[in-house]
Amino acid sequence: MMKNFWQSGSRILTRKQTSILSAATIIMLMVAASRVLGLMRNRVLAHFFSVETLAVYFAAFRLPEVIFEVLVFGALSSAFIPTFTRLLSKKQTDEAWYVAAISLNFAFLFFFGLSLLVFIFAAQIYQLIAPGFDAPQIELVVKLTRVLVFTQAFFVLSYFLTGVLESLQRFLVPAIAPLFYNLGIILGAVFLAGKIGIYAPVVGAVIGAFFHFAVQLPVAYHFGFRPKFKLDLKHPGVREIGRLALPRMVELSFLQIGKSAELFLASLVSAAAYTYYTFAGSLQLLPVSLFGVSIAKASLPTLSTHSAKQDLELFKQTFVASFNEVAFLVVPFSVFLAVLRVPVVRLTLGASRFSWESTVQTGLTLSAFCLSIFAQALIYLLNRAFYALHDTKTPVKIAIGAIFAHISLGATLILGFGLPVWSLALAFSLASMAQFGLLLFKLTRRLPDFAFRQISLPFLKVALASGGSGVVMFFLLKLFDRSVWAKQLSWLGHFNLSLPMLMERFVLDTRYIGNLLLLTALVALVGLGVFLLLGHWLKIKEMAAFGKLLLRFRQPKKIMAELPENQETVILPED
């Protein structure tokens, strides 16, 4: 019996997701779970630590993330997965595993060198990029940073295993791994905050990163990954990864400069401003990660396969279907976050140390981010389409231009006009939308007989349906929120009068968490209903596909179902 149990569990973990829909479903479910844990993590952090202390904590991730982003993200999605997939498609399995092992060795070698620099020069770097921090804050951020470097060692190992498994179209285990990272931070904060203070979530991050790696290793080993303790620059596969990864690494280096500039500018506003910016960024990343990243990651192996076979027609069909699906999901979600920004912030971050002023500033920053959620999500797909075509230079050039636009506009708004930290999010949104437009223009010129109406008309329909639902949600929120009526009708107090009896009966006092949760859920459900009605009236095709997806949630085994191993990858139908 136990043997059958373990065999069934093994089949689930190693099962192949051969369609973009099944792969995206797995990733979405796990990303949703990870993001829920991420919201719990932020709530726990806001409960145990002040916004000023959290600003130091978030800043401590800045330098370790530079190492991870440049090394791992620079080589993984843009170079490693397309190269590894190409070798597998040509039945060169041994070569593919050899390239994977050697590439990991090079990545770890570079990691060691960059980590050493961070250990030595962390204090000098933070004095430069966080001028708003005082001396004790700089000292603390340096100590936290030196501990957090260890998390990146595990991530370098772990994300290469993620690349291997995703290339093999096994998405479940890589999607589960991030859960352990957030759990580590949450448990560390809950059980150790009283003993070691802000070091608690840092220690939890190291433990979580270890399990992020450990959970993927057995599955990757099962499929054939073996470490090889050697360096081989002469192998053509390794050289190809280096050639493709270099432009992307340059892009991400500039991106990290941009993120460091965000810390620089936010610290000049106030010590707490970087916390508001980080929390708002985390909330707006929910739809970006849940839908944009999930569908883009699920599409990359399919796009790479079509590109390797030089079948640009199927490539175009896959891209168009994925584009419309991302837009269908992220646009209404961004409207929801923009309208319900204050209730969402209060529900996810409300704690004794997170004041009303902190809620308002985080909400304003979130609304500025919401302008570009659709662009951010679709940039992931556009970039991966270029990577599948073995072109990393075009997205790099455009991204670098967007980064400079973001920094320049943010500096102008904050230093020139003295605006709060929400203006930094506004600068980011405007730059992201410009980046999206240029990427789309460049990609569609490379696809045969591309008709913009294939994506513009569905996008317009989704935008109209989302806008209509947003208007209804806005007025409904104002109608039932007692605090709004109290402000509007404050003049009644001069006449010793209160709210009209009908209002007293139906409006909700949102100072209480239960009422706030009820109001948010009511407004969201009505907004969803309006969106679906308008979507049906506008005949949005993606509603049918995702209606089927929701029905499949009632039968989890079908989501995990394995198609025959020799079957061609299935493309999501446009209808």
3-state per-residue secondary structure call for 193-240: HHHHCCHHHHHHHHHHHHHHHHCCHHHHHHHCCCCCCCCCCCCHHHHH
Count of positions (residues) in the chain: 575
Q: Which tens digit of pLDDT belongs to each residue from 136-162?
A: 999 999 999 999 998 988 988 888 888
In-domain check, residue 508 = yes
d(CA 113, CA 519): 52
pLDDT at residue 573, rounded to an integer = 25
**Looking at 450, 480, 512, which one is the last position of a domain?**
450
Q: Quick one: 430 and 487 in the same domain?
A: no
Whether the CB-CB separation of 52 and 271 falls below 8 Å is answered with yes
The per-residue pLDDT for range 501-511, each reduced to its tens digit, is: 444 444 555 55
Q: What pLDDT sits at residue 122?
A: 94
How far is residue 436's CA from residue 399's CA, in Å, rounded to a whole number?
A: 9
Q: What's the confidence (pLDDT) of residue 238? A: 84
On whether both 278 and 409 belong to a single domain, the answer is: yes
**381 in the same domain as 514:** no
Under the banding of pLDDT at 50, 70 and 90, the label for residue 243 is confident
Residues 342 and 477 in one domain: no
In whole angstroms, what is the distance from residue 324 CA to residue 546 CA? Answer: 12
pLDDT for residue 228 is more than 80 = yes
pLDDT reported for residue 7: 47
Among the residue ranges 434-448, 502-516, 541-555, the one predicted with the least confidence is: 502-516
CA nearest neighbour of 295 among 571, 84, 8, 13: 571
56 and 148 co-located in one domain: yes
CB 440 within 8 A of CB 382: yes
Orientation of helix 93-129 relative to helix 81-89, angle to 10°: 180
Q: Contact at 8 Å (CB) between 61 and 259?
A: no
Q: How far apart are the first and last CA of the chain?
A: 44
Vertex 324 angle, CA 322 and 327, to 5°? 110
* Rounded-to-integer distance, Cα 505 and Cα 124, Å: 60
Instruction: Determine the structural domain holding residue 545 and report its residue range.
Output: 460-549
Question: Per mean pLDDT, which of 80-89, 98-107, 182-191, 293-302 is the most reliable?
Answer: 182-191
pLDDT score recorded for residue 535: 93
Residue 156 lies in a domain: yes
pLDDT surpassing 50 at residue 561: no
Q: Check whether 443 has a pLDDT greater than 80.
A: yes
| Runs of H (alpha helix) within 481-563 | 482-488, 501-506, 513-538, 542-552, 556-559
| DSSP state letter for 495 | G
Task: Single out the residue in 450, 472, 501 at which a domain terminates.
Answer: 450
Compute the 3-state secondary structure of the chain and give helix, strand, coil in percent, each to the nearest 5. Answer: 80, 0, 15
Q: Are residues 121 and 201 in the same domain?
A: yes
Indicate whether 465 and 391 sit together in one domain: no
Chain CA centroid to CA 50, Å: 25
Question: Does residue 401 sit in the same domain as residue 470?
Answer: no
Under a CB-based contact definition with an 8 Å cutoff, are residues 132 and 275 in contact?
Answer: no
Number of domains within the chain? 2
Contact 55, 272 (CB under 8 A): yes
Output phi, psi for 361, to 5 deg: -65, -40
Q: Position of tokens 């075509």?
A: 389
Q: Which whole number is the average pLDDT over 261-265? A: 95
Do 148 and 259 lie in a common domain? yes
> Do 394 and 365 fall into the same domain?
yes
The answer to whether the Cα torsion of 444, 450, 452, 456 is positive or negative is negative
Specify if 94 maps to a domain. yes
303 by DSSP, 3-state: which? helix
Within-domain flag for 455: no
Q: Is the pLDDT of residue 273 over 60?
A: yes
Rounded distance between C-alpha atoms, residue 35 and residue 293, angstroms: 13
Residue 152 and residue 114 in one domain: yes
- Same domain flag for 466 and 395: no
Note the pLDDT tens digit of each residue in 449-464.
Answer: 888 899 999 999 999 9
Does 567 fall in a domain?
no
Q: With contact defined as beta carbons under 8 Å apart, do 198 and 141 qualify? A: no
In-domain check, residue 563: no
Asked whether residue 102 carries a pLDDT value surpassing 70, the answer given is yes
Token representation of residue 560: 């995990």
DSSP for 20-83, please give it.
HHHHHHHHHHHHHHHHHHHHHHHHHHHHHS-HHHHHHHHHHTHHHHHHHIIIIIHHIIIIIHHH
Domain assignment present for 281: yes
Regarding predicted confidence, which is higher, 567 or 477? 477
For residue 473, pLDDT over 80 is answered with yes
Q: Note whether 396 and 251 are within 8 A (CB).
A: yes
The pLDDT score that the predictor gives to residue 472 is 96
Task: Point out the domain boundary residue: 450, 475, 509.
Answer: 450
316-353 confidence digits (pLDDT tens): 999 999 999 999 999 999 999 999 998 999 988 876 67
State yes or no: pLDDT of 16 exceeds 80. Answer: no
Rounded to an integer, what distance in angstroms lies between the CA atom of residue 178 and that of residue 290?
A: 13
CB within 8 Å of 381: residues ≥ 6 apart: 292, 295, 296, 299, 319, 322, 323, 326
Paired tokens of 293? 């990243």
Here the tokens at position 154 are 């595990």
- What's the CA gap between 300 and 317, in Å, rounded? 13
Q: Which residues contact 156 (CB under 8 A, 6 or more apart)?
A: 68, 71, 72, 104, 107, 108, 111
By C-alpha distance, which of 291, 349, 303, 42 is closest to 185?
Answer: 42
Cβ(138)–Cβ(121) under 8 Å? no
pLDDT for position 482: 53
Q: What is the mean pLDDT of the chain?
A: 83
The rounded distance, in Å, linking the Cα atoms of 323 and 382 is 9
Domain presence at residue 346: yes
Helix (H, G, I), strand (E, B) or coil at 7: helix
Mean pLDDT computed over 63-67: 87
